[in-house]
Structure formats: C-alpha cells, structure tokens
Amino acid sequence: MTFQFNIHATDGRARSGEILTDRGVIRTPAFMPVGTAATVKAMKPGDVRAAGADIILGNTYHLMLRPGAERVARLGGLHHFMNWDRPILTDSGGYQVMSLGALVKMKEEGVSFQSHVDGSKHFVSPERSIEIQRLLGSDIVMAFDECTPFPATRERAEASMRLSMRWAKRSRDAFLLDPAPALFGIQQGSMFEDLRRESAEKLMETGFEGYAIGGLAVGEGQAAMFEVLDYAPDLLPADKPRYLMGVGKPSDIIGAVLRGVDMFDCVLPTRSGRTAQAFVLDGTLNMRNARHAEDSGPLDAACPCPVCGQYSRAYLHHLIRTGEILGAMLLTEHNVWHYQMLMQGLRDAVVAGDVAAFAKGRLERLAR
C-alpha cells in the first residue's frame, strides 16, 4: 500500500506536491469534489475525472444509512460500486451524525443517533467508524472526532478537543488492525491557539499519515478562520499533507493555500450547480437572472470546460428557468472545472514562485 507525500515546491508557506497512492497521484493543493451518496451529484465519474479531480470524498454517515457499508462491501467496495477507480477519502461520519442525525446521546464510548432518513437508531464509535470506512474501501480514512460547534467557550472547546484526541488514538488502534493506505488525524481546539497546539501535539504522539484541520468553516467567518490558519497548519508536521475540512469559497481556498494547506473539500461547486449559481473569475453568476436570456456568449470565456465550449449563457438560463435536469448537470460540470482550474493555477503559481501575485490577482477580481 503506497501513500507517499512529496513536496516539489514551496513559496512562502504555500506548498505544491503530489501524494502517490496505488489508485493514482493526487496533485496538491487538491480540491476534492464531494460524492455524498456514492455520487458527485449530477456528474458521471468520467466527467469528474476529466475536470481534473484526482480524488473525491465520500460521506460515511450517508453511506452507512443508505445503502449500508456492509452492502457496499458485498458489492465490491465503493470504487467499484460507483465506477470511480481513483482515490477516495471518506469522512468519519462524526460531523454529520451531529449535524444531520437526531443526536440521542454522546458519551465516551461513542455517539447514538437517529437516522434523518427513517428515524432508525444507530451507534457510531471510533472503532465502528473505522470499520465502516474500511468496508467502503476508502484510501484515506479519517479519525472519528467531534466537530466542536462554534462559538464554543474555552471549557467546552477544551473538553471537546480532548475527547476527540482520545477518539483519535482509538481510531488509530482500530485502523492498525486492518490498515488502509492512510489514516488522517483531525486537529481541533476551536479558536484557541493553545488548544490547537495541544491537539497537534497529541495527534503527533499517536502518528498519522496526514493531518486535517477541523472545526473551521462552521460559521466563524473568513477573517476568524484565517486568524486560526495563521498558526494552525504550522503546528502540524511539515512533511505530511494538511487538509482543511469543508472549505470552501475560492477566496477561502486561496487564503488557506497561502497559509500552508494542501487539501480541501466542499459541496459549494456542486450544490451551487443545482441552485443556478455559476462560478466565474469575477465571483458567481445567478443564471436565473433575466439579463442572461439573450446572451449568446459562454459562461466564462476563459474557461476550457466542455460547457463553456458548447453552450451559451442564454441556453443555460433557459434550462434553469424551465427546470430541466440538464441545467443542473451543465452548471455543476462547469463549477467543478472552475475549482479544478483554480487548484491548477495555485499549483503552477507555487512552482513558479509567484503564488502571492497569483492570489492577489484572483482576489482582486473576486472583490470587484
């Protein structure tokens, strides 16, 4: 089982490199489209790959409820089931158990909850989360943790972080009984630098193939998130991938790459594609807007994606207005391309040593 992170270039705190796995190379900084229910919504896997994605994310919580991890395993694992042969990272389920499920009880052993789908009762512990992720056949397994809600008092943040660190150790022990290529630990500690430091130290004592920064993008806002990212990535090992979970808008990603983050995931490009929002260099376009009704130009003249090459804004507007499925499909495809092109631009800029200028140029256009 290969899992090797090679940093090819650094520019300030930004890094560019590759993660080598048996299922392919993950170029970093990387953006992972979210494949919640064994599908990147409205896209076929071949089109996700053609957009430039090296890895996608699968959600443990959704897949354990439907169709069930054991069923996916009997059907040959998640890669085979969904026809995606490249790397998959699975989250631990913790975040969604606590945000979507009706939380029944959280205790040291794990979390009891009711399914948001049918009200059925479930229990997830660090050990069960790792087992589910192994049944799915994940390449990058995430430690089970509690995503500390925001805002949190210092006492709440400390207790939550320490619980997550005990769960991280239990996740590691369970993982080593049946290892996959990689298990990532998740740093918590809310907005408190000393708690982030303690969390990083505890994770490094246990030892992981990569490290995530959790508990951000939970409503604190970009300025507060960047305050934490001013120090949090540097508390983690320099030679391991750093993954900022659930982020984000293009400007969030640019700012986080400048601060040393290597991996991202977010529903934004795909969800926006289903709500008539298209990402372009100057921000987002609402394709419902009547101003697009007779615009025969592409969504984004600079975008190399098949949608911009073949369809007009007027047609996309028509599809959205008439509620045609193809509208969501095409906007999603363009948005996934847009994000992957942003990542390629960031990788190239780090290698060229001008990531600060690249970031400034992109942020200025977004701010217009």
85 part of the active site: no
- In the complex with Zn ion, the residue whose CB is nearer, 254 or 299, is 299
Q: Is 329 in the site for Zn ion (CB under 5 A)?
A: no
Q: Which region among 24-32, 92-100, 119-127, 307-315 touches Zn ion (by CB under 5 A)?
A: 307-315
- In the complex with Zn ion, the residue whose CB is nearer, 133 or 340, is 340
With beta carbons less than 8 A apart as the criterion, state whether 320 and 287 touch.
yes
259-298 footprint of Zn ion as x/- string (CB under 5 A): ----------------------------------------
DSSP lists the bridge partners of residue 243 as 212, 263
Binder of Zn ion out of 186, 217, 303, 346 (CB under 5 A): 303
Q: Is 305 in the site for Zn ion (CB under 5 A)?
A: yes
Task: Kindly state the number of chain residues that form the binding site for Zn ion, as judged by CB under 5 A.
Answer: 5
Binder of Zn ion out of 232, 308, 328, 330 (CB under 5 A): 308
Q: Is 355 in the site for Zn ion (CB under 5 A)?
A: no
With tokens 């804004």, the residue in question is 313
Torsion of CA 303, 306, 307, 311, to 10 degrees: 110
> Which residue is catalytic, options 91, 145, 252, 300?
91
> Which residue is catalytic, options 54, 139, 265, 300?
265
91 part of the active site: yes
Residues 6+ apart with CB under 8 A from 100: 61, 116
**SS3 label, residue 210:** strand
Q: Is 336 in the site for Zn ion (CB under 5 A)?
A: no
Q: Which region among 46-54, 163-171, 210-218, 306-314 touches Zn ion (by CB under 5 A)?
A: 306-314
Peptide bond between residue 297 and the one before it cis (omega within 30 degrees of 0)? no
Rounded Cα distance between 149 and 99, Å, is: 10
Q: Is 334 in the site for Zn ion (CB under 5 A)?
A: yes
Neighbour count for residue 278 (Cβ, 10 Å):
27
With beta carbons less than 8 A apart as the criterion, state whether 252 and 221 touch.
no
Q: Is 313 in the site for Zn ion (CB under 5 A)?
A: no
Q: Is 330 in the site for Zn ion (CB under 5 A)?
A: no
What b-and-e string marks burial along 5-32, b requiring 16 or more CB atoms within 10 Å of the CB?
A: bebebbbebbbbbbbebebeebbbbbbb
- In the complex with Zn ion, the residue whose CB is nearer, 134 or 292, is 292
Phi-psi region of 54 (alpha: psi -120 to 50; beta: other; left: phi over 0): alpha
Q: Is 42 in the site for Zn ion (CB under 5 A)?
A: no
The catalytic residues are: 91, 265
Tell me which residues touch Zn ion (CB under 5 A): 303, 305, 307-308, 334
